[in-house]
Chains A and B, each alone.
Chain A
C-alpha cells in the first residue's frame, strides 16, 4: 500500500525567500511521485513528476523536487518565492506498474508575504 505524509499544513515565507515543502512517502514497490498545485477556486495542476531516471526533477514556475530513496522523500523547493506562488500544494504517490490509483497527501498551504 502507498501513503504520503506532508509535514506542515501551512508554510509561510516572505517574497524572495526559499520555499521548501516536505513530502515523505511509503510504498512497497518503486513509486511514481507527483506534486500538484491548486490555486484558489481551481482544480489541481501538475507541477512536476518523478517516474524514472534523474532524481532531480524540474517543473513549471521554477519549482523542483528531488527523489531520495534512502529518505523516502520527495521535497518540493523553489529558490525564491513569488506572491503568485501562494496556493495549496499536494504530493501524491502511485506504484510504477499496472493500473493504480494516485494517493494524495493532505496538502500544504503556502502563504507568501511581501
Chain B
C-alpha cells in the first residue's frame, strides 16, 4: 500500500518560532509537493520538488522554504511562524509528471 506520512498531525507554535513539517513517502516517487488548505480557498501550492535537491516555488511560497536531501523526504520550513500561517498543510507525492497524486493525512498548524 502506498504511504505518505506526515510526522505531526497537530502542532501549536508561537509567533516567531521556526517550524519544521516533515513528509516521508515510501513509493520512490520523484515528485513531492506541499499544499496549504484553508476554508473557502481550497488547496494552494506552496513548493514542489521534482528531484532530490531540486525545488520550485508554487503559488504562495512567501514565508516558507523547503528541503529535499533524500528522495523520500520533503520538509517544509517556516523560518519565523506568523499567525496567518495557521492552516492545514498537506504533503503529496507522485511518480513522474503524469502520475497520480498521493496525499498524506495533513498537519494542522496553529500559530499563537
Contact = CB atoms under 8 A, between A and B. Distances in A.
Nearest to B6: A43
Interface string A90-114: 1000000011111011110000000
A98 B42 contact: no
Contacts of A36: 103
A106 B105 contact: no
Contacts of A104: 35, 42-44
B104 interface: yes
B109 interface: no
Contacts of B42: 90, 104-107
Contacts of A46: 100-101
Contacts of A106: 40-42
A40 to B, nearest CB: 11
B92 to A, nearest CB: 8
A1 B44 CA distance: 15
Interface string A41-53: 1111110010000
B52 interface: no
Contacts of A9: 40
A35 B10 CA distance: 26
Given A90-B43, A104-B42, A107-B42, A99 B106 contact: no
A43 B40 contact: no
A87 to B, nearest CB: 14
A45 B73 CA distance: 20
Contacts of B97: 98-100
Given A43-B4, A44-B43, A104-B35, 20 more contacts: A9-B40, A36-B103, A41-B105, A42-B106, A43-B92, A43-B104, A44-B92, A44-B103, A45-B103, A46-B101, A90-B42, A99-B31, A100-B97, A101-B48, A102-B45, A104-B43, A104-B44, A105-B42, A106-B40, A106-B42
Interface of B: 4, 31, 33, 35, 40-45, 48, 50, 58, 90, 92, 97, 100-101, 103-106
